[in-house]
Amino acid sequence: MGPAGVRRVCLIACSASKLDRAAAAHEIYTGDVFRKSLAWARLQPFEDIVVLSPRHHVVDLQESLQPYDGSMYAMTVDERRRWASIVFASIETRWDLRAGDIELVMLAGAHYAEELALRIQVVAPRARLVRPLAGLGVGQQKAWLRDAIAAQERACAG
């Protein structure tokens, strides 16, 4: 739980780079932005952290996955809309977004976030959506995450 009883959930975009063998979701994705996003999320008081996947939709960190090809960037606009609809239904059911006592922190690029954010804002307007990486290029995302991790580690140490 976050401040004032607000439930906090982190949604992290997967990465195109993966291990070449089956592994838990928190291990299989090897991209630098994913690894840094997960490290930052683990330093925060989140009730839950999940991965957003173009193939598997909403994935628990411990869920075992086989390596796969697929990218949100290879999807058409209609395919991304269908994906967002499925993901929204999953997270709405899982965390009762309409209750309004929830903050969703989405660490994902525009291809993951745009349609999903729109659905959240329209259907569950009381849910608070935070996108700290919105509008940042990959290098800027890495820098933001690196700095945020360092700041959190300093705060915990001192």
Rounded to an integer, what distance in angstroms lies between the CA atom of residue 23 and that of residue 66?
Answer: 7
Query: What CATH number corresponds to the domain at position 40?
Result: 3.40.50
Count of structural domains within the chain: 1
Query: For residue 67, which of 33, 24, 34 has the smallest C-alpha distance?
Result: 24
Q: What is the extent of the structural domain holding 21?
A: 3-157
Instruction: Using alpha carbons, list the distances in angstroms from residue 112 to 28, 58, 132.
Output: 19, 12, 14
Under DSSP, the state recorded for 1 is -
Query: For residue 20, which of 63, 68, 70 has the smallest C-alpha distance?
Result: 68
Per-residue pLDDT tens listing for the chain (158 residues): 455 678 999 999 999 999 999 999 999 999 999 999 999 999 999 999 999 999 999 999 999 999 888 888 889 999 999 999 999 999 999 998 888 789 999 999 888 899 999 999 998 888 999 999 999 999 999 999 999 999 988 888 76
Overall pTM > 0.85: yes
* pLDDT score recorded for residue 41: 97
